[in-house]
Structure 1
Amino acid sequence: MGNIILLDEHTANKIAAGEVIERPASVVKELIENSIDAGSTRIEVSITDGGLAEITVSDNGFGMDARDAVLALERHATSKISRASDLESIQTLGFRGEALPSIASVSKVNLKTKIKESLSGIELVIEGGKILKESETGCPPGTAIRVSELFYNTPARQKHMKGPAAEAGHISDVVNKFAMGYPNISFQLTSSGRVVLKTSGSGRLLEVIANIYGPNTAKDMLPIDTQNEEGAVFGYLGKPFLTRSGSTHQTIYINGRYIRSRLITKAVENAYHGMLMIARHPVFVINIRTSPEEVDVNVHPAKTEVRLARTGALEEFITRAVKVVLTGNRLIPTGNIGPAKVANVPQESSKQEEWKIPYPQVFPAGRVCEVPLGSEYTPPKEFAAEALPETPGIQVPVEFPDLRPIGQIECTYIVAQGSDGMYLIDQHAAHERILYEKYMEKPDAFIASEQLLFPVTLDLTHREAQLLNDTIIVFTDLGFVVEHFGGESFILRGIPAGAGKDGGKEIFLDLLDYFSQNRYTISNKALREKFLITMACRNAIKANNKLGLPEMESLLAMLAQAEQPYTCPHGRPTMIHFSGYDLEKKFKRVL
């Protein structure tokens, strides 16, 4: 007698449930997908004890008649596809026909549904995958599914659930993702009697973002809406100073389906290159529209992983689209002058107040580094070389604010007047950005070697010495001349031109540390860029350096010509804006 048997349907459903239904949030995800596919404009989710005790998802969609309601509990019964070829152009969120039977096999389910044309609905009571009761009932058009005692018949799975608070958090994340992906649908999430989320269904994505992340986050988001032959990308991008330490605030959709994609995340973050602080990640919500034939969603039962047909073209398109938005907007943080109320829905201020200070008046705040007009002043050597011809005013592109310097605070921050308020500019960060972009235009000019009159001995650890022996050619290409001196010692005989006689050793050791930490993930091009950033930082005008008004004008004029003038290469902001209207409110000139 053979050993292989055909599993019964109940057992097969429980096995499938292990992949499809991992936790209460999986139930909510699958049921919301069904509601969206049913054309719902209102979806309500109610949970008790984090969904471990009970989950109810109700909608106002098409509903089902008695035949379809019973058939929907059969494995691989679906209205989304009818043949294998349909898998090549999936246009719905669900299609596998596994969600309802998987949920029903590991819980107790009450299903009520009604189509618009029917006078009454149908109610099904299911336990462990078996229909215990089928009857007519009165209910509104749409479908309401109540799932109780999840995993009651799989104690091993139930044992590994987190607490109610943690599971409720997972469910909240799921509903938030759907709300941002479908702002035209009204969502409501109620947890143990408390309304956690409620959206209007107005179709305004920024309103949903404000509802979920808060208005202070929403007001620093930029709209993106671009399309070409590759497809379209639309949504909102956080300004470079709006960052998180992880990727939890990065939301990606393809054709309305929430997905996780390292490729698309990388494409977006590449556009932010040079604008972000180290180990920080931008906030964004983007939806990519492309031909369904270009996307394979039949990869995993959870349907959050996809395979793309033309990854290179799509990645390039997304990076280019995001970069156009970032470079086409003023990315200047707004200074906070004391506590301020923020509107529920971010919108442009209707009041644009002009305020002027007679030029050239020195701003008398803090330790002012005043340089009267006509006085002698010698700027630092490396800064003087960058100075532009003195001009009575600064002519700048439209995208960059028209700034007129007034003075300095702490010999570190330039105070400038603009048509829309006051600006504080970090002189070191601004000059660092200017030098970095200049170096990147002709990187080889700054990597020629200069011989040291007095060679420097480098005493390294064994690990550092091994690394340098293996990769010494990399440092040679950057302009360093290094020779092994025996053991863990090396002689530094030459440094890159412009590194400075006293700074060559520090730059070398910094790069060696950086290369050691990122050896297997960094390219030679990235290491060279890191080197140029270090050079720009060292050669930029420092804090506590006194500048005259002509030098301030020159610095701001050069910054206005930069490709990314609003952040230094490390991602720090170069300037902060204080609106004239906010200043007037602070001085009680307006109410």
Structure 2
Amino acid sequence: MSKIRILPDRVANQIAAGEVVERPAAVAKELIENSIDAGANKIEIEFRNGGKSYLRVEDDGVGMDPDQALLCLERHATSKIRKASDLDEIQTFGFRGEALPSISSVSRFTLRSRAKNSSEGNEILINGGKMIHVKECGMPQGTRIEVAHLFNSVPGRRKFLKTEVTESSHIIHLAKLYALAHPQITFSLIEGARTLFRSPACENLIDRVREIFGKSLSECLAPIEVQAEGMNLGGLLGKPGYSRPTRKEMLFYVNRRPVESKTMSYALLEAYHTYAPKGRFPPAVLFLTIDSSLVDVNIHPAKRELRFREDMKVRGFLIESILQSIQELSGKRSREIKKIELEKDSLSGRMVPKIDDRIFEKFKPSSFPQSSHIVELKPEFEFLPGALASNPSIKKTSGIEDRSDTNSKEPVKPVVGLRGDPNVTWRLVDHSHGSMALFITTHGVVVFHCRSAYERIRFEALEDSFEKNQKVGSQSLLLSESIELDGVESAFLQKSLPQLVEIGFVIEEFGRNFFRLEACPTWLDPEKAVSYLRDFLEIASESGGESKIVMYAKEAMIKQATKNPGAKETFSENEIVRMANQLLSCRNPYTCPQGRPIYYELPVRDFETRFRRKI
């Protein structure tokens, strides 16, 4: 066994860099936080190749004199805390003094800074932890830090970085988070020679959201401001009826610090439980202000997560505040509950609610028509067999008597039929509980979920529209739809336009980050074309934005196929039989597009085991 020895400072810094600097976005985060702590009114971020080859953060803050600039590159050197008790009441972003020495140990690091009272600035160059030079330079007041060739001195770490598109998306998302948290600061984000966004100082949060995310998101948000129990919840909350396919636009801040908080995330989703469809997420930009002694921001090396000292109290406050705001946005107001009058029942002798005599006058039997009519209830969504006509692998069925090939001499025997049909394998017994149906088979009993079967049939019909050997038709929209996107989604859409045209979309560029949808595929409802396209772009951005158009389109297609058009569906027996026959002709009749089972069989032997005798 080798002897124990103290590691050199350079090696210790590189090990510490593994905790603080995991990717280029982590470098940008530390530098942006230092700029905010320095009282900057303007912050400019520039990067190239996903931040791997070059990253610059420049501000007009207080700056540093030569001694302070050298001292900030030492480990555990900070101006934010003086004693251990200061950790209980942290008011600043960067406070541990590990970021700059860790970053400089794994990159070519250039620091330029000039204090307010200094006549010139100072430049410090460090390459892989080695000091190259310290010299004077001319520059305005503030600090400029350049990080080049990140992880070149640690190639093992560099090879685990993701693609340039993925790393760029992390930096862009991070810059947006801090720009939202500080609307009084002018933020600029530049990728290479292209300006992604330049947002001047804004008076309120909604203006900053409009500047960064666009008008479409800002219009579906409403302000929230609730104060109680020593906590304050502010920001913007999604209006009922608006939702997103991913969690990307669920943004949380605690004391102006962007965080990933399960407490806040679960509280938001629980409050929106009945206001957002299942599988969709409400957009929100929520700022929680709380006593800094009641929250611990030092539990994660990169300060991404935090812990509340009174977690249940915070969660209850958030749920109650968000629910109250949602009800106000929905137009629901708390009504005064009228006192219920009681009377004694002559038969039971118990006190029961008193019945208003006016009810009998309003609903007396003579007010009803003498003749009764049987009204056939239609399902809440219309089953479209025409959508399956383009799929040659799905046999067209219509009731019991059906032929899949008009040229064939013998009719194709259907597998599923009604309860009185002796020539089928599955006989429908009954359907109940909305989407559940029961079939008797030669081997047992089949329990069938109608809604899941519809989703599978619809999904495979949509999926066939993406086959290369099929020509996809387009239908022109009566009025073209305008779409406003952010910089990342706009760039991805421009790259994807040729492939989107192949699957039936007609999209024209209408200006910077503006597009116009002229036509959509024939299999897609024109009213849902814009929502489908937004789902497609958000899923693509969430997945890194690589050129996997068909994969992203199919994931968005799953969401379209599984969106619930009504709270409860009803199916007639003929529709259930037709769906079951079409399902058994699908490529995968066993699960819905989300992987849940469509039907399962209870064999006779299971009943014999339960009854302990032959049936």
Name the TM tier (shorter chain).
Answer: 0.5 to 0.7
CA drift of 1:326 comes to 0.9
Query: In the aligned structure 2, how far is the partner of 1:130 from the partner of 1:94?
Result: 24
Residue equivalent to 1:189: 189
Query: In the aligned structure 2, how far is the partner of 1:326 from the partner of 1:197?
Result: 31
For residue 221 of structure 2, what is the amino acid of its counterpart? Answer: M
Residue equivalent to 1:44: 44
Q: Please tell me whether residue 323 in structure 1 is matched to residue 252 in structure 2.
A: no
Summarize deviations over 1:458-506 as a string: whole Å, max 9, x none: xxxxxxxxxxxxxxxxxxxxxxxxxxxxxxxxxx9xxxxxxxx962585
- In structure 2, do the counterparts of structure 1 residues 187 and 10 end up closer, same or farther at CA, with 3 Å as the change threshold? same
For residue 432 of structure 2, what is the amino acid of its counterpart? Answer: G
Q: Please tell me whether residue 77 in structure 1 is matched to residue 81 in structure 2.
A: no
Q: Counterparts of 1:414-493 in structure 2 under 5 Å? A: none
CA drift of 1:131 comes to 2.1
Q: Please tell me whether residue 209 in structure 1 is matched to residue 240 in structure 2.
A: no
Query: In the aligned structure 1, how far is the partner of 2:379 from the partner of 2:432?
Result: 24
The alignment's TM-score, normalised by the length of structure 2, stands at 0.56
Q: Is the 8 A contact 1:249 1:283 kept in 2?
A: yes
CA drift of 1:82 comes to 1.1
- In structure 2, do the counterparts of structure 1 residues 283 and 536 end up closer, same or farther at CA, with 3 Å as the change threshold? closer
- Displaced runs of 4 or more, over 6 A: 374-383, 410-413, 508-514, 533-536
Count residues in correspondence. 371
Residue equivalent to 1:19: 19
Query: In the aligned structure 1, how far is the partner of 2:253 from the partner of 2:271?
Result: 18
Query: In the aligned structure 2, how far is the partner of 1:307 from the partner of 1:52?
Result: 32
The alignment's TM-score, normalised by the length of structure 1, stands at 0.58
Q: Counterparts of 1:175-574 in structure 2 under 5 Å? A: 175-330=175-330, 503-504=432-433, 537=568
- In structure 2, do the counterparts of structure 1 residues 316 and 35 end up closer, same or farther at CA, with 3 Å as the change threshold? same
- In structure 2, do the counterparts of structure 1 residues 143 and 331 end up closer, same or farther at CA, with 3 Å as the change threshold? farther
Query: In the aligned structure 2, how far is the partner of 1:16 from the partner of 1:268?
Result: 35
Q: Is the 8 A contact 2:240 2:330 kept in 1?
A: no
- In structure 2, do the counterparts of structure 1 residues 320 and 508 end up closer, same or farther at CA, with 3 Å as the change threshold? farther
- In structure 2, do the counterparts of structure 1 residues 172 and 505 end up closer, same or farther at CA, with 3 Å as the change threshold? closer
- In structure 2, do the counterparts of structure 1 residues 380 and 120 end up closer, same or farther at CA, with 3 Å as the change threshold? farther
For residue 243 of structure 1, give the secondary structure of its aligned residue in structure 2: coil
- In structure 2, do the counterparts of structure 1 residues 381 and 319 end up closer, same or farther at CA, with 3 Å as the change threshold? farther
Q: Is the 8 A contact 2:434 2:569 kept in 1?
A: no
Q: Is the 8 A contact 1:185 1:203 kept in 2?
A: no
Query: In the aligned structure 1, how far is the partner of 2:236 from the partner of 2:303?
Result: 24
Query: In the aligned structure 2, how far is the partner of 1:504 from the partner of 1:295?
Result: 47
- In structure 2, do the counterparts of structure 1 residues 221 and 534 end up closer, same or farther at CA, with 3 Å as the change threshold? closer
CA drift of 1:12 comes to 0.5
Q: Is the 8 A contact 2:114 2:142 kept in 1?
A: yes
- In structure 2, do the counterparts of structure 1 residues 210 and 157 end up closer, same or farther at CA, with 3 Å as the change threshold? same
Residue equivalent to 1:136: 136
Residue equivalent to 2:336: none
Summarize deviations over 1:84-130 as a string: whole Å, max 9, x none: 11111111111111110011000011111111111111111111122
Q: Counterparts of 1:139-178 in structure 2 under 5 Å? A: 139-178=139-178
- In structure 2, do the counterparts of structure 1 residues 152 and 2 end up closer, same or farther at CA, with 3 Å as the change threshold? closer
Residue equivalent to 2:484: none
For residue 194 of structure 1, what is the amino acid of its counterpart? Answer: R
Q: Is the 8 A contact 1:230 1:313 kept in 2?
A: no
Query: In the aligned structure 1, how far is the partner of 2:285 from the partner of 2:567?
Result: 33
- In structure 2, do the counterparts of structure 1 residues 300 and 382 end up closer, same or farther at CA, with 3 Å as the change threshold? farther
Query: In the aligned structure 2, how far is the partner of 1:169 from the partner of 1:36?
Result: 22
For residue 568 of structure 2, give the secondary structure of its aligned residue in structure 1: helix
Query: In the aligned structure 2, how far is the partner of 1:32 from the partner of 1:145?
Result: 10
For residue 282 of structure 1, give the secondary structure of its aligned residue in structure 2: coil
Query: In the aligned structure 2, how far is the partner of 1:186 from the partner of 1:101?
Result: 27
For residue 223 of structure 2, give the secondary structure of its aligned residue in structure 1: strand
Q: Is the 8 A contact 2:379 2:569 kept in 1?
A: no
For residue 503 of structure 1, what is the amino acid of its counterpart? Answer: S
For residue 10 of structure 1, give the secondary structure of its aligned residue in structure 2: helix
Residue equivalent to 1:433: none
For residue 281 of structure 1, give the secondary structure of its aligned residue in structure 2: coil
CA RMSD of aligned residues (A): 3.5
Q: Is the 8 A contact 1:226 1:234 kept in 2?
A: yes
Query: In the aligned structure 2, how far is the partner of 1:201 from the partner of 1:330?
Result: 32
CA drift of 1:241 comes to 2.5
For residue 265 of structure 2, what is the amino acid of its counterpart? Answer: T
- In structure 2, do the counterparts of structure 1 residues 76 and 377 end up closer, same or farther at CA, with 3 Å as the change threshold? farther
Query: In the aligned structure 2, how far is the partner of 1:209 from the partner of 1:535?
Result: 32
Query: In the aligned structure 1, how far is the partner of 2:192 from the partner of 2:317?
Result: 44
Query: In the aligned structure 2, how far is the partner of 1:199 from the partner of 1:313?
Result: 36
Residue equivalent to 2:65: 65
Query: In the aligned structure 1, how far is the partner of 2:235 from the partner of 2:120?
Result: 41
- In structure 2, do the counterparts of structure 1 residues 275 and 81 end up closer, same or farther at CA, with 3 Å as the change threshold? same
For residue 92 of structure 1, what is the amino acid of its counterpart? Answer: T
Query: In the aligned structure 1, how far is the partner of 2:316 from the partner of 2:209?
Result: 26
Between stretches 33-42 and 505-514, larger displacement belongs to 505-514
CA drift of 1:330 comes to 3.9
CA drift of 1:535 comes to 12
For residue 329 of structure 2, give the secondary structure of its aligned residue in structure 1: coil
Q: Is the 8 A contact 1:222 1:325 kept in 2?
A: no
For residue 45 of structure 2, give the secondary structure of its aligned residue in structure 1: strand
Residue equivalent to 1:90: 90
For residue 287 of structure 1, give the secondary structure of its aligned residue in structure 2: strand
For residue 537 of structure 1, what is the amino acid of its counterpart? Answer: K
Residue equivalent to 1:109: 109
**Higher RCO, 1 vs 2 (CA within 8 Å, ≥6 residues apart):** 1
- In structure 2, do the counterparts of structure 1 residues 158 and 233 end up closer, same or farther at CA, with 3 Å as the change threshold? same
For residue 218 of structure 2, what is the amino acid of its counterpart? Answer: A
CA drift of 1:163 comes to 2.7
CA drift of 1:511 comes to 11
CA drift of 1:209 comes to 1.4
For residue 25 of structure 1, what is the amino acid of its counterpart? Answer: A
For residue 234 of structure 1, give the secondary structure of its aligned residue in structure 2: strand
Query: In the aligned structure 1, how far is the partner of 2:26 from the partner of 2:279?
Result: 31
Query: In the aligned structure 2, how far is the partner of 1:64 from the partner of 1:512?
Result: 71
For residue 226 of structure 1, what is the amino acid of its counterpart? Answer: V
Q: Is the 8 A contact 2:252 2:258 kept in 1?
A: yes
- In structure 2, do the counterparts of structure 1 residues 225 and 377 end up closer, same or farther at CA, with 3 Å as the change threshold? farther
- In structure 2, do the counterparts of structure 1 residues 248 and 505 end up closer, same or farther at CA, with 3 Å as the change threshold? closer
- In structure 2, do the counterparts of structure 1 residues 76 and 503 end up closer, same or farther at CA, with 3 Å as the change threshold? same
Between stretches 299-308 and 2-11, larger displacement belongs to 2-11
Residue equivalent to 1:122: 122
Query: In the aligned structure 1, how far is the partner of 2:103 from the partner of 2:307?
Result: 27
CA drift of 1:164 comes to 2.3
Q: Is the 8 A contact 1:382 1:539 kept in 2?
A: no
Summarize deviations over 1:521-579 as a string: whole Å, max 9, x none: xxxxxxxxxxxx99973699xxxxxxxxxxxxxxxxxxxxxxxxxxxxxxxxxxxxxxx
Query: In the aligned structure 2, how far is the partner of 1:73 from the partner of 1:210?
Result: 38
Q: Is the 8 A contact 2:436 2:449 kept in 1?
A: no
For residue 537 of structure 1, give the secondary structure of its aligned residue in structure 2: coil
For residue 225 of structure 1, what is the amino acid of its counterpart? Answer: E
Q: Is the 8 A contact 2:179 2:185 kept in 1?
A: yes
Summarize deviations over 1:55-85 as a string: whole Å, max 9, x none: 1100011111111110100111111111111
